Amino acid sequence: MSIIITAQMVSELRSKTGAGLMDCKKALTEANADSEEALLILRKKGIAAADKKSTRTASEGLIEQYIHLGGKVGVLIEVNCETDFVAKTEDFKKFVKDICLHIAATNPVCILREDVPEDLVVKEREIATSQIQNKPAHIIEKIVDGKLDKYFQSICLLEQPFVKNPDQTIQELLKEIIAKLGENIIIRRFVRYQLGN
């Protein structure tokens, strides 16, 4: 029995993903008309394509600000993309605003774990090591590495769970928007201000 892919099915999938009509039709065919499975197929392909785009130059974009709690917390951020055209799209603007909101809420220290100041890493390693007693050295090292990993996930922007969807990290959200807009996007830098700090 052949499965029929209707124009409405293709249209609905396209509105959910922003993917092209032919890509939506291929995904639905591959998924035997199961729209949830087709969505997953498109996301996997999009994320693979996003990884390929990560080496392209991104020198356009936006500087955005967000003020929260009646002026008690503020964020200033620069997010880059490849073209001015994409920088002006609603999807890009929404992404940048969401990242601003996220930073205001979670107070990350930096964007990547490579950017974490060495003195913070040393201090955190010392704290983690002091909490573990009476275990062989190689076990202690593994436990400390695990604790450091959790620490990085809590302070590095790209590794944090997104405040609007904790099942998704900021890195995953970034790859999703890259896949959707078809350009490399980089969260370049941010500053978070808190009154009295």
Structure confidence at residue 101 (pLDDT): 95
pLDDT tens per residue across span 152-173:
999 999 999 999 999 999 999 9
Structure confidence at residue 75 (pLDDT): 95
Structure confidence at residue 105 (pLDDT): 94
Residue 136 predicted with pLDDT over 60: yes
Structure confidence at residue 109 (pLDDT): 93
- Please name which of 58, 13, 16, 52 lies closest in space to residue 34, comparing C-alpha atoms: 13
pLDDT tens per residue across span 2-46:
678 888 888 787 767 666 667 788 888 888 888 888 878 877 776
- Please name which of 155, 160, 183, 184 lies closest in space to residue 171, comparing C-alpha atoms: 160
Q: Is 10 exposed, middle or buried (0-12, 13-18, 19+ CB in 10 A)?
A: buried
Residue 53 confidence class, pLDDT cut points 50, 70, 90: low
Q: What percent of the chain has pLDDT over 90?
A: 41
Structure confidence at residue 18 (pLDDT): 61
The gap from C-alpha 25 to its chain's centroid, in whole angstroms, comes to: 27
Structure confidence at residue 191 (pLDDT): 95
Structure confidence at residue 7 (pLDDT): 82
Structure confidence at residue 55 (pLDDT): 61
Q: Where are the domains of the chain?
A: 7-53, 60-111+156-194, 117-155
Give the C-alpha separation, 124 to 127, whole Å. 5
Structure tokens at 139: 């076990």
Structure confidence at residue 154 (pLDDT): 93
What is the reported pTM?
Answer: 0.69
**Can you tell me the mean pLDDT for 126-137?**
82
Give the C-alpha separation, 81 to 99, whole Å. 15
CATH, range 7-53: 1.10.8.10
- Please name which of 172, 173, 187, 128 lies closest in space to residue 152, comparing C-alpha atoms: 128
CATH architecture of 60-111+156-194: 2-Layer Sandwich (3.30)
